[in-house]
Amino acid sequence: MRFVSTAGAGPPVDLATAVFAGPAPDGGLYLPESLPAADPEVFSDPSLSVAERSARLLAPFLGDLDAGTLTQLLAEALDFPLPLVELEDGIHVLELFHGPTLAFKDVGARTLARLIAALRGDDDREVTVLVATSGDTGGAVAHAFAGVAGTRVAVLYPSGRISPLQEKQIATLGGNVLALAVEGGFDDCQRLVRQVFGDRGLACEMRLTSANSINVGRLLPQMVYYAHAAARLAPARVLFSVPSGNFGNLTAGLMAHRMGMPAAGFVAATNVNDVVPAYLETGVFTPRPSVPTMSSAMDVGDPSNLARIRALYGDDPAAIRRDVTAASFDDDATAGAIHDVAARTGYLLDPHTAVGYLGLRRTLKERGGGGPGILLATAHPAKFLEQVEPILGRPLAVPEPLARCMDRPIRSHQIAAQLGALAGLLRVWPAA
């Protein structure tokens, strides 16, 4: 399998080149050169384990690894459950928060960490993993790479705009993990990452790679949980609702669909940072500064993965609309959904999953009800205590993985949203 850039200016590359490059040299993002039809059983056989399903689905893309290495890699990375829970008639919740950092990003981050180690082979040169996060990505990547020989990880997050527990998961590890609190929003963090990769001299000097969903090695494994959920409800055609910020999660679902996964469509559910719903409505993409909300991981005004979605559909908004319905909701609606679902069912939603719930419920209603619909639950609600507890009027129990980091001191560097500040710090690390 070869990988091509969404910008179309460079030649196709192999898996290792795509993974270690992160973004392509021409500024685009790597996509598989083609999406092969998958074995139909991957999407229909509920008896397959997560490891078995992932090996069969991902083998065409990760074929540079021998079968034994691939199977072991995926079994180690995806060693936690992906439960599908019925919430109410017609709506199921795919719980993606049972990994080490209680967020869906564990699926891609843990796979990528092991993939990089496998692809390095006997190369003893250190790899610097650079990642921008609006919340959960940073914790998942930091934990996935913490202590991994031959790697160091720099996590950029918007200062004061992620939850305290999310910051604890990023900034209390130390060692080969460097936490950088950027003065600005997530788009500033993402811009810095793009600028560093755009400086080819610096990128080569540091042997940089990325662990955001801009890295195709982190994006590909996210197809697995769509396939796993679809098989559980087969032969029904499922409507998936995807809380969306940087749109990597939705991109993975669309790729699985184009490989043969039956689906009734996808809901791209966003908060008031609705640049993608506006693009689908008008056909014109106009990025803008993000607005802070209670669903902070979706506060993205220039989502990277829209480039991949546009490339998959030949840059045709009408074609995207045939598969994707967009919906956006403000904080009042989000808080109302958290309260309503808890009162009626006892089930607790985090703010991002609540946005997805609203999008799914609205779309099912517009389509005449029924279902089935699957809501992707992207994070455990305890990661957002400050938002959820006041809505419910009671404290939440904190799972043990979160409790472990609550009392650890934060060790982070505050930096300006400027390339010089970031490059200077990377050059002196670990002495910094």
Helices and strands of the chain, counted as H and E runs: 20, 13
- Report residue 216: phi and psi, to 5°: -60, -25
**SS3 of 344, please?**
helix
What is the rounded CA–CA span in Å between residue 297 and residue 290? Answer: 11
Question: Is residue 135 within 8 Å of 101, Cβ to Cβ?
Answer: no
- Reduce the DSSP state of residue 12 to 3 states and report it: coil
pLDDT at res. 343: 97
Per-residue pLDDT, 357 = 98
Q: What is the pLDDT along the chain (432 residues), one digit of tens a residue?
A: 999 999 988 899 999 999 988 889 898 999 999 999 999 999 999 999 998 999 999 999 998 888 888 999 999 999 999 999 999 999 999 999 999 999 999 999 999 999 988 888 777 778 889 898 877 788 888 999 888 888 889 999 999 988 888 899 899 988 999 999 999 998 899 899 889 888 888 888 888 888 878 899 999 999 999 999 999 999 999 999 999 999 999 999 999 999 999 999 999 999 999 999 999 999 999 999 999 999 988 999 999 999 999 999 999 999 999 999 999 999 999 999 999 999 999 999 999 999 999 999 999 999 987 779 999 999 999 989 999 999 999 999 999 888 888 888 999 999 999 999 998 888 888 644
* CA dihedral sign of residues 82, 37, 69, 109: negative
pLDDT at position 210 is: 84
Helix (H) or strand (E) holding 141: helix 136-145
Going by C-alpha positions, the residue among 82, 80, 85, 51 that lies closest to residue 68 is 51
CA separation for the pair 50, 76 (Å, rounded) = 11
The per-residue pLDDT for 43 is 97
CATH of region 81-102+218-392: 3.40.50.1100
Task: Measure Cα distances from 392 to 22, 165, 339, 355, 384 in Å.
Answer: 41, 19, 6, 17, 12
The pLDDT of residue 134 is 78
| Side chain identity at residue 296, one-letter code | S
Q: Return d(Cα 315, Cα 307) in angstroms, integer.
A: 9
Burial class from Cβ neighbours inside 10 Å (0-12, 13-18, 19+) for residue 373 reads buried
| Spatial distance between the Cα atoms of 357 and 224, rounded to a whole number of angstroms | 21
Predicted pLDDT at 219: 94
- pLDDT at 150 (0 to 100): 84
Distance (Å, whole) CA 248 – CA 219: 7
